[in-house]
Amino acid sequence: MIEIIPAIDLIDGKCVRLTQGDYSQKKIYNENPLEVARMFADAGLRRLHLVDLDGAKANHIVNHKVLGLITSKTNLIVDFGGGLKSDDDLRIAFECGAQMVTGGSIAVRNPELFISWIQKYGGEKIILGADVKDEKIAVGGWVETTDLEIISFVNNYMKQGISQVICTDISKDGMLQGTSNELYKKMRNKIPCIYLIASGGVSSISDIELLHEDKVQAVIIGKAIYENKIKLNELTKFFI
């Protein structure tokens, strides 16, 4: 059964969503992220994708107090990303209760450091963040597209010990227009051993059902929940 992972994005300690990573297209959904996290936990969800958008802009962890509050006040398994650029950032994230962290741009721009994290903490605690545009890796808040092809990029890090990848098609993120099924099917065929977490574009329960049919292991859902396109009680049929 596909794993359902709700997302909370943080700016100024508030729960927000962006459209295609554009900070100028910010919408605040709740000023109390703990309240949102508790809502997810009460619905039976077990994992949370928590993104520090302030940290992503500042290139260092910012919203660690919110992380600590959520991990201390709920039983959610939290994977945390955004602005993790140093050993100290990782130390703070784990000390604040994150069970896993996600590295995206750092895996492109400083692979030696990212690999050292995998070696130190283990591949089960370090998630590879792979943001893509036309199947090429994008970094820097999705402004810069690289020449790195998604399949080889993930394969190379699997050799270093990575077991999970969050793959976000930036053309879909926040658009509520469906997911990149063809991309995910290709990834499942080419790299079947990776735990693939689809992200971006989920607009309805049928989108999740299609991903499940394609044997995608997990999906991150954000805006569809906040915009009431998907009700939390509709997700229970996917719970293991």
Q: Which domains does the chain have, with CATH numbers?
A: 3-238 (3.20.20.70)
How do residues 72-119 score in pLDDT, each as one tens digit?
A: 999 999 999 999 999 999 999 999 999 999 999 999 999 999 999 999
> What integer is the mean pLDDT of 153-166?
98
Q: What is the pLDDT of residue 196?
A: 98
> What integer is the mean pLDDT of 133-140?
87
> What integer is the mean pLDDT of 50-59?
94
> Which residue reads 């996290």 in tokens?
37
Instruction: Say yes or no to pLDDT of 141 above 80.
Output: no
Q: Which amino acid is residue 232, in one-letter code? A: L
How do residues 110-131 score in pLDDT, each as one tens digit?
A: 999 999 999 999 999 999 999 9
Classify burial at 228, counting beta carbons within 10 Å of its beta carbon; exposed 0-12, middle 13-18, buried 19 or more: exposed
The set of catalytic residues is 9, 131
Query: Of the given ranges (144-148, 163-167, 182-186), which has the lowest mean pLDDT?
Result: 144-148
Measured CA to CA in angstroms, residue 49 lies from 40, 148, 151, 220, 231 at distances of: 11, 25, 23, 7, 18
Q: What is the pLDDT of residue 154?
A: 98
Q: What percent of the chain has pLDDT over 90?
A: 83
**Binning pLDDT at 50, 70 and 90, where does residue 240 land?**
low
Q: What is the pLDDT of residue 36?
A: 97
What radius of gyration do the chain's Cα atoms show?
A: 16
Q: What is the pLDDT of residue 171?
A: 79
> What integer is the mean pLDDT of 127-142?
86
Q: What is the pLDDT of residue 177?
A: 75
Task: Classify each residue of 138-173 as buried b or exposed e, where b means 16 or more C-beta atoms within 10 Å of its C-beta.
Answer: bbebbeebbebebbebbeebbeeebbbbbbbbbbbb
